Amino acid sequence: MMKQLRLSGSGGQGVIFAEAAVSEGKQAVQSQSYGPEARGGASKAEVIISDNPIYHPKVINPDIVLAMTQQAADKYYGDLDKDNGLLIVDEDLVPNAPDFPHIIKVPITKMTSEKLGKLLFANIVALGIMVKLSGIVSLETVKQSVAHRVPPHTVDKNMQALELGYNAV
């Protein structure tokens, strides 16, 4: 098994996803690009997860693209495999979703605001969605990785965010 993921328009999910995969005995590489467009633009993290050694750390044809902004969707979905690729978008922040055969639209920002009260947790809600739809790593392993990565006083809210995303799809 080898899966290539491109997470765009928000931050933090790639490191957590890769860490969870390694915790489960898989191979993982992660790279990120956060330029001046990082807030609301087309920043990205790429993750490759495999059961075997990974010899090329760059995502070429992602299996899944998560787009949290319109600019990210427009810029990063084009490499997806039209037959098997999955595009996940925040339906509120990507009002003009690309015409793609396999697309999941989730109101990530709206859910986060209404259920958690702070948009700060939107990236963890998105991570929960990715965990559920990809099936690459278990929810329990991701919970452990999140708990290690976030400030201690935010662990409970981050767990709620993860569950919110996981149960949204």
78-95 pLDDT tens trace: 999 888 999 999 999 999
pLDDT in tens, 117-135: 998 899 999 999 999 999 9
Res. 140 pLDDT band, cuts 50 70 90: very high
86-90, strands of its sheet edge to edge: 27-33, 44-50, 2-8, 64-67, 86-90, 103-106
Dist. CA 127–CA 131, nearest whole Å:
6
| Nearest Cα residue to 132 out of 112, 106, 100, 96 | 106
**Average of pLDDT values for 14-35?**
85
Taking the model in full, what pTM does it have? Answer: 0.90
| Nearest Cα residue to 121 out of 10, 33, 34, 15 | 10
Q: Determine which of 12-21, 73-82, 155-164 has the lowest per-residue pLDDT on average.
A: 12-21
40 Ramachandran zone, left/alpha/beta (phi>0; psi -120 to 50): left
